[in-house]
Amino acid sequence: MKILRDETGSALVEFAAILSVMVLLLLGLSDYTSEILWDMQVQNAAIAGAEYGAVPGNESNLTGIQSYTVALAPYVKGVTATATNVWACTPGGTSVASTSLCTGNVTPNKYLIVKTSATVNRMMAYPGIPATANLKGSATIRVPWTQ
């Protein structure tokens, strides 16, 4: 029964078991941090696109704003952007006509809303977790008043 008490090679077996778990944890962490980075890029692109559109004269060029916004997230494949102008009495409030009056006889403010989205593939397939992640960003900014 000397074979049962022989510990030769047991460290190698333990190392192999721990290494496989550590590699899986490292891959999962890498995948998770990549998704966070891509999500931040999609959100920051929406913010920068809204700031670009707030420059006087740019708010009407919705196609240019969308192109500019998409170009700001070069490391995220498949980014799409939509830009819309709305008139509202309060930020995020109900849309009104540009010629209407708000409470207190004040004219409504013009807002530019830029929304971004992207669908990215995860590096690995995880049980119970979808193979793709949907990323979204949104920014609303008040633009100089023009009629």
| CA geometry: angle 145, 138, 74, nearest 5 deg | 110
* CA–CA separation, 24 and 128 (whole Å): 16
- Copy the structure tokens of residue 134: 């949907």
Contact 88, 68 (CB under 8 A): no
Task: Write down the pTM of the prediction.
Answer: 0.80
Which residues on neighbouring strands pair with residue 118, listed in sequence order? 135
Mean pLDDT of the region 5-20: 83
- Residue 55 identity: V
Higher pLDDT, 145 or 117: 117
**pLDDT tens digits, one per residue of 74-131:** 889 899 999 999 888 887 778 888 778 888 888 888 899 999 999 999 888 888 889 8
Residue 72 has pLDDT above 70, yes or no: yes
Contact 137, 41 (CB under 8 A): no
* CA–CA separation, 38 and 40 (whole Å): 5
